Structure 1
Amino acid sequence: MSKNIGYIRVSTLDQNTGRQLDGIALDKVFTDKASGKSRQRPQLTACLEYVRDGDTLHVHSIDRLARNLQDLLTLISDLTSRAVTVQFHKEGLIFTGEDSPFQRLQLQIIGSVAEFERAMIRERQREGIALAKKEGKYKGRKAALSPAQVEEARVQINAGAKVAQVARELGVSRQTLYSSLER
Protein backbone atom coordinates (compact mmCIF):
# COMPACT_ATOMS: atom_id res chain seq x y z
CA MET A 1 0.00 0.00 0.00
CA SER A 2 1.46 3.35 -1.03
CA LYS A 3 2.14 6.02 1.59
CA ASN A 4 2.33 9.78 1.65
CA ILE A 5 5.68 10.74 3.16
CA GLY A 6 6.64 14.29 4.10
CA TYR A 7 10.12 15.80 4.16
CA ILE A 8 10.52 19.11 5.98
CA ARG A 9 13.73 21.11 6.36
CA VAL A 10 14.59 24.37 8.07
CA SER A 11 18.10 25.78 8.36
CA THR A 12 18.24 26.57 12.06
CA LEU A 13 16.93 25.05 15.28
CA ASP A 14 14.74 28.05 16.10
CA GLN A 15 12.92 28.18 12.74
CA ASN A 16 9.30 26.99 12.63
CA THR A 17 8.45 23.95 10.50
CA GLY A 18 4.68 24.46 10.90
CA ARG A 19 4.03 26.22 7.59
CA GLN A 20 5.58 23.45 5.51
CA LEU A 21 3.13 20.78 4.34
CA ASP A 22 0.41 22.17 6.60
CA GLY A 23 -2.94 20.55 5.86
CA ILE A 24 -1.54 17.66 3.82
CA ALA A 25 -2.45 14.19 5.08
CA LEU A 26 0.85 12.37 5.62
CA ASP A 27 1.57 8.88 6.90
CA LYS A 28 5.07 9.76 8.10
CA VAL A 29 7.13 12.96 8.31
CA PHE A 30 10.90 13.40 8.37
CA THR A 31 12.18 16.77 9.65
CA ASP A 32 15.73 18.12 9.47
CA LYS A 33 16.94 21.30 11.13
CA ALA A 34 20.06 21.70 9.06
CA SER A 35 21.45 23.58 6.09
CA GLY A 36 20.44 22.41 2.63
CA LYS A 37 23.97 22.90 1.29
CA SER A 38 24.71 19.19 1.64
CA ARG A 39 22.80 15.93 1.26
CA GLN A 40 24.36 14.75 4.52
CA ARG A 41 21.28 15.27 6.71
CA PRO A 42 20.14 12.53 9.12
CA GLN A 43 16.41 12.75 8.45
CA LEU A 44 16.87 13.03 4.68
CA THR A 45 18.95 9.85 4.79
CA ALA A 46 16.28 8.12 6.90
CA CYS A 47 13.54 9.35 4.53
CA LEU A 48 15.39 8.06 1.45
CA GLU A 49 15.80 4.66 3.12
CA TYR A 50 12.12 4.60 4.18
CA VAL A 51 10.30 5.44 0.92
CA ARG A 52 9.18 2.53 -1.23
CA ASP A 53 7.80 1.83 -4.69
CA GLY A 54 4.45 3.59 -5.07
CA ASP A 55 5.00 6.12 -2.24
CA THR A 56 4.73 9.87 -2.76
CA LEU A 57 7.32 12.14 -1.18
CA HIS A 58 5.81 15.53 -0.39
CA VAL A 59 8.16 18.52 -0.06
CA HIS A 60 7.07 22.13 0.51
CA SER A 61 9.46 23.57 -2.09
CA ILE A 62 12.45 22.54 -4.16
CA ASP A 63 14.95 24.47 -2.03
CA ARG A 64 13.82 22.51 1.04
CA LEU A 65 15.09 19.30 -0.59
CA ALA A 66 18.38 20.66 -1.98
CA ARG A 67 20.27 23.93 -2.47
CA ASN A 68 22.62 22.38 -5.00
CA LEU A 69 21.42 21.60 -8.52
CA GLN A 70 23.42 18.40 -8.87
CA ASP A 71 22.13 17.08 -5.52
CA LEU A 72 18.57 17.97 -6.51
CA LEU A 73 18.78 16.21 -9.87
CA THR A 74 20.43 13.16 -8.29
CA LEU A 75 17.77 12.93 -5.56
CA ILE A 76 14.88 13.24 -8.03
CA SER A 77 16.45 10.72 -10.39
CA ASP A 78 17.12 8.24 -7.57
CA LEU A 79 13.60 8.53 -6.17
CA THR A 80 11.74 8.32 -9.48
CA SER A 81 13.89 5.37 -10.63
CA ARG A 82 12.59 3.57 -7.52
CA ALA A 83 8.98 4.42 -8.56
CA VAL A 84 8.63 7.08 -5.84
CA THR A 85 6.65 10.13 -6.90
CA VAL A 86 8.06 13.48 -5.74
CA GLN A 87 5.65 16.38 -5.28
CA PHE A 88 6.76 19.98 -4.67
CA HIS A 89 3.75 21.89 -3.37
CA LYS A 90 4.92 25.51 -3.64
CA GLU A 91 5.97 25.10 -7.27
CA GLY A 92 3.10 22.75 -8.13
CA LEU A 93 5.46 20.19 -9.70
CA ILE A 94 5.14 16.41 -9.59
CA PHE A 95 7.90 14.09 -10.77
CA THR A 96 7.19 10.46 -11.57
CA GLY A 97 10.08 9.56 -13.86
CA GLU A 98 7.89 10.12 -16.91
CA ASP A 99 8.30 13.88 -16.79
CA SER A 100 7.98 16.25 -19.72
CA PRO A 101 11.01 18.17 -21.02
CA PHE A 102 9.35 21.41 -19.87
CA GLN A 103 8.89 20.08 -16.34
CA ARG A 104 12.55 19.00 -16.27
CA LEU A 105 13.56 22.50 -17.42
CA GLN A 106 11.49 24.06 -14.63
CA LEU A 107 13.20 21.83 -12.08
CA GLN A 108 16.64 22.80 -13.39
CA ILE A 109 15.85 26.52 -13.42
CA ILE A 110 14.39 26.54 -9.91
CA GLY A 111 17.26 24.34 -8.67
CA SER A 112 19.78 26.72 -10.23
CA VAL A 113 18.12 29.67 -8.50
CA ALA A 114 18.32 27.86 -5.13
CA GLU A 115 22.02 27.15 -5.74
CA PHE A 116 22.59 30.79 -6.73
CA GLU A 117 20.83 31.99 -3.55
CA ARG A 118 23.09 29.77 -1.45
CA ALA A 119 26.19 31.19 -3.18
CA MET A 120 24.98 34.75 -2.60
CA ILE A 121 24.37 34.05 1.10
CA ARG A 122 27.93 32.71 1.45
CA GLU A 123 29.36 35.73 -0.41
CA ARG A 124 27.47 38.23 1.78
CA GLN A 125 28.61 36.32 4.87
CA ARG A 126 32.28 36.51 3.76
CA GLU A 127 31.92 40.23 3.00
CA GLY A 128 30.35 40.87 6.40
CA ILE A 129 33.10 38.98 8.21
CA ALA A 130 35.80 40.85 6.25
CA LEU A 131 34.21 44.20 7.16
CA ALA A 132 33.86 43.22 10.83
CA LYS A 133 37.51 42.12 10.93
CA LYS A 134 38.58 45.41 9.36
CA GLU A 135 36.64 47.31 12.04
CA GLY A 136 38.10 45.08 14.77
CA LYS A 137 34.68 43.67 15.71
CA TYR A 138 35.29 40.10 14.57
CA LYS A 139 37.84 38.08 16.43
CA GLY A 140 36.93 34.69 15.04
CA ARG A 141 35.93 31.61 16.90
CA LYS A 142 37.22 31.08 20.43
CA ALA A 143 40.02 28.52 20.54
CA ALA A 144 38.87 25.07 21.63
CA LEU A 145 41.99 24.58 23.73
CA SER A 146 43.90 27.01 25.92
CA PRO A 147 47.64 27.48 25.32
CA ALA A 148 48.28 25.50 28.53
CA GLN A 149 46.14 22.58 27.29
CA VAL A 150 47.95 22.57 23.95
CA GLU A 151 51.34 22.53 25.68
CA GLU A 152 50.23 19.70 28.00
CA ALA A 153 48.97 17.74 24.98
CA ARG A 154 52.28 18.30 23.20
CA VAL A 155 54.19 16.99 26.24
CA GLN A 156 51.96 13.89 26.49
CA ILE A 157 52.26 13.11 22.76
CA ASN A 158 56.06 13.61 22.80
CA ALA A 159 56.16 11.18 25.74
CA GLY A 160 54.42 8.55 23.59
CA ALA A 161 50.70 9.07 24.29
CA LYS A 162 48.35 8.42 21.38
CA VAL A 163 46.79 11.52 19.81
CA ALA A 164 43.30 9.95 19.89
CA GLN A 165 43.57 9.32 23.65
CA VAL A 166 44.84 12.84 24.40
CA ALA A 167 42.06 14.33 22.25
CA ARG A 168 39.43 12.26 24.13
CA GLU A 169 40.80 13.42 27.48
CA LEU A 170 40.57 17.04 26.32
CA GLY A 171 37.08 16.54 24.87
CA VAL A 172 38.03 17.54 21.32
CA SER A 173 38.41 15.75 17.99
CA ARG A 174 41.79 14.56 16.77
CA GLN A 175 41.63 17.13 13.95
CA THR A 176 41.05 19.95 16.47
CA LEU A 177 44.04 18.73 18.46
CA TYR A 178 46.22 18.50 15.34
CA SER A 179 45.19 22.04 14.31
CA SER A 180 45.92 23.39 17.79
CA LEU A 181 49.34 21.73 17.85
CA GLU A 182 50.23 23.30 14.46
CA ARG A 183 49.61 26.87 15.68
Structure 2
Amino acid sequence: MHAMDRLARSLDDLRKLVLELTARGVVVKFHKEGLRFTGEDSPMSNLMLSMLGAVAEFERSLIRERQSEGIALAKVAGAYKGRKPSLAQEQVAEIKSRAAAGESKAALARDFGVSRETVYQYLKSATV
Protein backbone atom coordinates (compact mmCIF):
# COMPACT_ATOMS: atom_id res chain seq x y z
CA MET A 1 0.00 0.00 0.00
CA HIS A 2 1.35 3.42 -0.83
CA ALA A 3 0.17 5.23 2.31
CA MET A 4 -1.80 4.51 5.49
CA ASP A 5 -4.41 7.15 4.81
CA ARG A 6 -5.30 5.41 1.53
CA LEU A 7 -6.15 2.15 3.31
CA ALA A 8 -8.45 3.46 6.03
CA ARG A 9 -10.06 6.72 7.13
CA SER A 10 -9.95 6.08 10.86
CA LEU A 11 -7.39 4.68 13.27
CA ASP A 12 -9.74 1.93 14.41
CA ASP A 13 -10.32 0.75 10.83
CA LEU A 14 -6.61 0.90 10.03
CA ARG A 15 -5.61 -1.19 13.03
CA LYS A 16 -8.38 -3.70 12.39
CA LEU A 17 -7.48 -4.08 8.71
CA VAL A 18 -3.77 -4.51 9.41
CA LEU A 19 -4.52 -7.13 12.09
CA GLU A 20 -6.92 -9.03 9.82
CA LEU A 21 -4.52 -9.00 6.88
CA THR A 22 -1.48 -10.07 8.89
CA ALA A 23 -3.51 -12.83 10.57
CA ARG A 24 -4.10 -14.24 7.07
CA GLY A 25 -0.37 -14.20 6.36
CA VAL A 26 -0.38 -11.03 4.28
CA VAL A 27 2.58 -8.69 4.70
CA VAL A 28 1.34 -5.10 4.82
CA LYS A 29 3.89 -2.53 3.72
CA PHE A 30 3.32 1.21 3.64
CA HIS A 31 5.81 2.69 1.19
CA LYS A 32 5.29 6.33 2.11
CA GLU A 33 5.81 5.72 5.84
CA GLY A 34 8.42 2.98 5.38
CA LEU A 35 6.59 0.57 7.67
CA ARG A 36 6.06 -3.16 7.26
CA PHE A 37 3.72 -5.40 9.24
CA THR A 38 3.96 -9.19 9.21
CA GLY A 39 1.91 -10.26 12.22
CA GLU A 40 5.00 -10.70 14.39
CA ASP A 41 5.40 -7.00 14.96
CA SER A 42 7.25 -5.33 17.79
CA PRO A 43 5.56 -2.98 20.24
CA MET A 44 7.46 -0.13 18.53
CA SER A 45 5.94 -0.89 15.12
CA ASN A 46 2.47 -1.06 16.69
CA LEU A 47 3.12 2.31 18.31
CA MET A 48 4.17 3.77 14.95
CA LEU A 49 1.03 2.35 13.32
CA SER A 50 -1.12 3.96 15.99
CA MET A 51 0.65 7.31 15.92
CA LEU A 52 0.78 7.68 12.14
CA GLY A 53 -2.78 6.39 11.82
CA ALA A 54 -3.95 8.96 14.35
CA VAL A 55 -2.18 11.73 12.43
CA ALA A 56 -3.80 10.56 9.17
CA GLU A 57 -7.24 10.53 10.85
CA PHE A 58 -6.61 14.03 12.23
CA GLU A 59 -5.59 15.34 8.79
CA ARG A 60 -8.73 13.84 7.26
CA SER A 61 -10.94 15.53 9.86
CA LEU A 62 -9.24 18.88 9.15
CA ILE A 63 -9.85 18.45 5.43
CA ARG A 64 -13.53 17.68 6.06
CA GLU A 65 -13.84 20.70 8.33
CA ARG A 66 -12.28 23.05 5.77
CA GLN A 67 -14.46 21.55 3.04
CA SER A 68 -17.61 22.18 5.09
CA GLU A 69 -16.54 25.74 5.78
CA GLY A 70 -15.87 26.33 2.08
CA ILE A 71 -19.26 24.93 1.09
CA ALA A 72 -20.99 27.11 3.68
CA LEU A 73 -19.21 30.22 2.37
CA ALA A 74 -20.03 29.29 -1.22
CA LYS A 75 -23.70 28.83 -0.31
CA VAL A 76 -23.79 32.26 1.31
CA ALA A 77 -22.22 33.74 -1.82
CA GLY A 78 -24.76 31.89 -3.98
CA ALA A 79 -22.08 29.91 -5.81
CA TYR A 80 -22.97 26.49 -4.40
CA LYS A 81 -26.31 25.23 -5.51
CA GLY A 82 -25.80 21.47 -5.29
CA ARG A 83 -26.46 18.92 -7.97
CA LYS A 84 -28.68 19.82 -10.89
CA PRO A 85 -31.96 17.86 -11.18
CA SER A 86 -31.80 14.75 -13.36
CA LEU A 87 -35.16 15.43 -14.97
CA ALA A 88 -37.11 18.47 -16.11
CA GLN A 89 -40.41 19.31 -14.43
CA GLU A 90 -42.35 18.05 -17.46
CA GLN A 91 -40.60 14.69 -17.22
CA VAL A 92 -41.36 14.50 -13.50
CA ALA A 93 -45.03 15.18 -14.20
CA GLU A 94 -45.03 12.44 -16.84
CA ILE A 95 -43.39 9.97 -14.45
CA LYS A 96 -45.99 10.76 -11.79
CA SER A 97 -48.90 10.32 -14.17
CA ARG A 98 -47.53 7.10 -15.66
CA ALA A 99 -46.81 5.68 -12.21
CA ALA A 100 -50.33 6.58 -11.10
CA ALA A 101 -51.60 4.67 -14.16
CA GLY A 102 -49.79 1.58 -12.87
CA GLU A 103 -46.63 1.52 -14.96
CA SER A 104 -43.70 -0.18 -13.23
CA LYS A 105 -40.98 1.94 -11.64
CA ALA A 106 -38.26 -0.09 -13.38
CA ALA A 107 -39.80 0.61 -16.79
CA LEU A 108 -40.06 4.31 -15.99
CA ALA A 109 -36.42 4.37 -14.89
CA ARG A 110 -35.34 2.72 -18.15
CA ASP A 111 -37.44 5.06 -20.28
CA PHE A 112 -36.04 8.19 -18.62
CA GLY A 113 -32.47 6.94 -18.22
CA VAL A 114 -32.36 7.23 -14.43
CA SER A 115 -32.18 4.77 -11.55
CA ARG A 116 -35.25 3.37 -9.85
CA GLU A 117 -34.22 5.22 -6.70
CA THR A 118 -34.38 8.49 -8.65
CA VAL A 119 -37.88 7.61 -9.84
CA TYR A 120 -38.94 6.88 -6.25
CA GLN A 121 -37.42 10.17 -5.05
CA TYR A 122 -39.34 12.14 -7.68
CA LEU A 123 -42.55 10.28 -6.85
CA LYS A 124 -42.06 11.07 -3.18
CA SER A 125 -41.46 14.77 -3.82
CA ALA A 126 -44.45 17.12 -3.67
CA THR A 127 -43.43 19.37 -6.57
CA VAL A 128 -44.65 18.77 -10.10
The TM-score, its normalising length taken from structure 2, stands at: 0.87
Task: Give the match for residue 92 of structure 1.
Answer: 34
CA shift for structure 1 position 72? 1.6
- Quote the RMSD (CA, aligned, Å): 1.5
Once residues 11 and 114 of structure 2 are traced to their aligned partners in structure 1, the CA distance between those partners, rounded to angstroms, is 34
Q: Whole-Å Cα distance in 1 between the matches of residues 70 and 44 of structure 2? A: 39
Find the residue that maps to 1:155 and give its secondary structure. Answer: helix
Cα distance in structure 2, aligned partners of 1:95 and 1:119? 26
Tell me how far apart the structure 2 counterparts of residues 180 and 117 of structure 1 sit (CA, whole Å).
38
Secondary structure at the aligned position of 1:90 is classed as coil
Q: Following the alignment from structure 2 to structure 1, what is the Cα–Cα distance between the partners of residues 103 and 13?
A: 42
Residue by residue over 1:72-104, the C-alpha shift from the partner in whole angstroms, topping out at 9 and shown as x without a partner, is 222211211111111112222110111112211
Residues 1-183 of structure 1: pairs in structure 2 closer than 5 A: 59-183=1-125
Deviation at 1:116, TM superposition (A): 2.0
The higher-RCO structure (CA 8 Å, 6+ apart) is 2
In the alignment, residue 76 of structure 1 is paired with which amino acid?
V
* Partner AA of 1:145 in structure 2: L
How many residue pairs match? The answer is 125
Tell me if structure 2 keeps the 8 A contact 1:79–1:85. yes
Pick the structure with more helix per residue. Answer: 2
- Using the aligned pairs only, state the percent identity: 57
Name the residue aligned to 1:10. Answer: none
Radius of gyration: which is bigger? 2
Secondary structure of 1:142 counterpart: coil
Contact 1:145 1:180 in 2 (8 A): no
How far apart are residue 163 of structure 1 and its match? 1.2
Mapped partners of 1:91, 1:125: distance in 2: 26
Matched residue type, 2:74: A
Q: Which has the higher strand share?
A: 1
